[in-house]
Amino acid sequence: MNAPYDLMVIGAGMAGIAAANRCAAHGWRVGIVDPLPYGGTCALRGCDPKKILRRGAEIIDDARLLQGRGVDATGLALDWSGLMRHKRGFTNDVPHDVEARLRKNGVRTFHGSARFVNADALQIDGESFAANRFLIATGARPRSLEFPGREHMIDSTEFLSLPDLPPRIVFVGGGLVSFEFAHIAARAGADCVIVDHGERPLRAFDPDLVDLLVRRSEQVGIHVHNRSSIGAVNRSATGLQVDIHWGDVVTSIETDLLVHGAGRVPDLDTLDLEAADVASGPRGVDVFGHLQSRSNPRVFAAGDSADTLGERLTPVAVFEGKVAASNMIKGSRTVPDYSGVPSTVFTIPELNRVGMLEEDAVRDGRDVDVRFHDTSGWYSNYRVGETTAATKVIIDPATDQILGAHLLGPGYSEVINTFALAIKLGLTTRQLKSATATYPSVGSDVGSML
Ligand SMILES: Cc1cc2nc3c(=O)[nH]c(=O)nc-3n(C[C@H](O)[C@H](O)[C@H](O)COP(=O)(O)OP(=O)(O)OC[C@H]3O[C@@H](n4cnc5c(N)ncnc54)[C@H](O)[C@@H]3O)c2cc1C
Ligand SMILES: NC(=O)c1ccc[n+]([C@@H]2O[C@H](COP(=O)([O-])OP(=O)(O)OC[C@H]3O[C@@H](n4cnc5c(N)ncnc54)[C@H](O)[C@@H]3O)[C@@H](O)[C@H]2O)c1
């Protein structure tokens, strides 16, 4: 057995890295372990590579929107393998850079899969390491699906490394992964089908804006099936035969690729949590609000593998990692502040949300002022040729404070950050309108959205 560490961090993604660096800066003896190259989902298999691929798709769409208005987009096409090279130009360096920074900060880095052997020690490749504290930051993995033929399905990691993009793609699930990937693939020329078993896709977003996005998606060759599920998948002479169930009706379609976009679950199975008396449930490690395990006080958890009030997003993983580190160092019980966390579906155009949905206000019987605007005819959208754009802002009439903002349109993933700040700081619409933005920028539309 090695001399005890002050902290062993399990998982070198956003949450784990943030916590390891903070505790090492405080002078703690810290170790971190991951079986995969360092950097985690966001940098290597999620947000960052995805948005690099989206850039190519954006350029195609931008050009097509101005076809006949000063731009000749005929013959414009995505070079998928070139785009993949562009992606690797970023992702290739991440593991080395992340690990070098951790080491420079005094963190000992390990490669391998960790599992607990008892309440105060874990094992990596047969070697045991004791520690005073452990941080579980193992992230999430695709949910298991049970339909016959599921072995033909690829996951988001594989999609982001496809050497070629086939012409026909079916996505299982109508969440963020499927919509974002389908919007990229459609601009690359693929015919896309999204099969979702819910009443409507993208459940966490404003339904009026989702309807508009679904219509815009149909226009670019993405077909969305609600209340539908996959019955079975079989290999055929020319691809994959997919049976789609819609109530009692079964439709068979041919595709070249089946992609998992049906949600992710905490990645805890390899940890042997029982050996360390760490309780967990379907939403992750069972923690108090301040991120300490309810059953083993030596253990904290953060990011996608922790059962917290936070959404499964990178900024949340980072600030949970930092709050967990700070609580471990100080012995404090600070609860992360989840207010004003924005999220974006990086479709083209993008769909954004921060704060309360209109339906939350209705459910709570709360008196709110809902300001909806079809912004498709506004100057900013005319300029780029976008014909689908709208905003909905939810305001508390008693205080004039912003409770929620929902934006669909080009450039609005930057604008949502202004609303996020307003919600975090409790700004009134009057205060927000008093700010001056550069003109003509998309941000200068904020006053008119209120
Ligand atoms: C396709 C995709 C796109 C996304 N896009 C966005 C986006 O645009 N914006 C956004 O905010 N969020 C996005 N997300 C979500 C975001 O990536 C996650 O919320 C975030 O990465 C979670 O960070 P984490 O540190 O909790 O986990 P991760 O980054 O997943 O890190 C967990 C690490 O733990 C390791 N691990 C697992 N088991 C063990 C073990 N037994 N021992 C040691 N190590 C282990 C894993 O190998 C992994 O490297 C996206 C997710 C996906 C899948
Ligand atoms: N831009 C971003 O911030 C971003 C992008 C991608 C992923 N993510 C993160 O990754 C997580 C996972 O994304 P996701 O898109 O896989 O999941 P999701 O939870 O966003 O959506 C899953 C969808 O699949 C449907 N579904 C579930 N099982 C199904 C089945 N058997 N058949 C048909 N439909 C089914 C659900 O009704 C839901 O609409 C997200 O919750 C998010 O936290 C974030």
Q: 174: CA distance to ligand 2 center in Å?
A: 6
Per-residue confidence at 441, pLDDT binned at 50, 70, 90?
Answer: very high
Specify if 339 maps to a domain. no
pLDDT reading at 80 higher than 70: yes
Q: Are residues 11 and 132 in the same domain?
A: yes
The alpha carbon of 44 and the centre of ligand 1 are apart by a number of angstroms equal to: 9
The atom number, within ligand 2, closest to the CA of 145 reads: 31
HEC readout, 339-391: CCCCEEECCCCCEEEEECCHHHHHHCCCCCEEEEEECCCCHHHHHHCCCCCEE
Instruction: Tell me whether residue 133 is exposed, middle or buried, using C-beta atoms within 10 angstroms of its C-beta: 0 to 12, 13 to 18, 19 or more.
Output: buried
ipTM for this model: 0.99
Residue 57: inside a domain: no
Residue 268 has pLDDT above 60, yes or no: yes
Is 55 inside any structural domain?
no
Do 222 and 116 sit in the same domain of this protein?
no
**Domain range enclosing 399:** 349-449
Q: Within a domain: residue 79?
A: no
Q: Which residues line ligand 1 (CB under 6 A)?
A: 10-16, 33-36, 40-42, 46-47, 50, 113-114, 137-139, 156, 177, 267, 270-271, 303-305, 312-315, 317, 346
The enclosing H or E element of 122 equals strand 121-124
- Whether residue 3 is predicted with pLDDT greater than 90 in this model: the reply is no
- State whether the beta carbon of 413 lies less than 6 angstroms from ligand 2: no
- pLDDT digit string, tens, across residues 332-380: 999 999 999 999 999 999 999 999 999 998 899 999 999 999 999 999 9
Query: How much distance in Å is there from the Cα of 38 to the middle of ligand 1?
Result: 11
Q: Which of 208, 229, 262 is the last residue of a domain?
A: 262
Question: Which residues make up each annotated binding site for NAD(+)?
Answer: 173-180, 263
C-alpha 351: how far from chain center = 13
Specify if 104 maps to a domain.
yes
- Residue whose Cα lies nearest atom 9 of ligand 2: it is 312
- Residue 254 and residue 271 share a domain: no
Q: Whose CA is nearest to atom 15 of ligand 1?
A: 313
Cα-to-centroid distance, 172 and ligand 2 (Å):
9
Residue 214 confidence class, pLDDT cut points 50, 70, 90 = very high
Does one domain contain both 176 and 288?
Answer: no
Shared-domain flag, residues 182 and 254 = yes
Residues marked as binding?
A: 51, 173-180, 263, 304
Q: 257 with 203, same domain?
A: yes
83-127 pLDDT, tens digit each: 999 999 999 999 999 999 999 999 999 999 999 999 999 999 999
Task: Report the pLDDT value the prediction gives residue 44, as an integer from 0 to 100.
Answer: 98
Ligand 2 atom at shortest distance from the alpha carbon of 201? 39
In percent, the amount of the chain with pLDDT more than 90 equals 98
Instruction: Supply the pLDDT for residue 1.
Output: 57
The answer as to whether 223 is a domain residue is: yes
Kindly state whether residue 92 falls inside one of the protein's structural domains.
Answer: yes
Whether 228 has a pLDDT exceeding 60, the answer reads yes
**Residues 250 and 294 placed together within one structural domain of the fold:** no
- Residue 2: band (very low, low, confident or very high) from pLDDT cuts 50, 70, 90: low
What's the rounded mean pLDDT across residues 268-293? Answer: 98
Claim to verify: residue 356 and residue 443 sit in the same structural domain:
yes
Domain boundary pick from 235, 262, 289 = 262
| Together in a domain, 196 and 124 | no
Domain assignment present for 54? no
- Shared-domain flag, residues 11 and 136: yes
The number of the ligand 2 atom at minimal distance from the alpha carbon of 312 is 43
Q: How many domains does the chain have?
A: 3
CB < 8 Å & 24+ apart, contacts of 278-285? 278/116, 278/136, 280/307, 281/307, 283/307, 284/308, 285/136
Same domain, 131 and 185: no
- Owner of token pair 């690099």: 52
Work out the average pLDDT over 264-283.
Answer: 98
| Global confidence as pTM | 0.98
Q: Indicate the residue among 229, 262, 295 that finishes a domain.
A: 262
Task: State whether 314 and 363 are in the same domain.
Answer: no
**What integer pLDDT is reported at residue 215 of this predicted model?**
98
Residue-level pLDDT at 69: 97
The domain that holds 215 is classified in CATH as 3.50.50.60
Question: What CATH number has the domain bearing residue 353?
Answer: 3.30.390.30
Mean pLDDT of all residues belonging to the chain:
97
Mean per-residue pLDDT, 211-231: 97
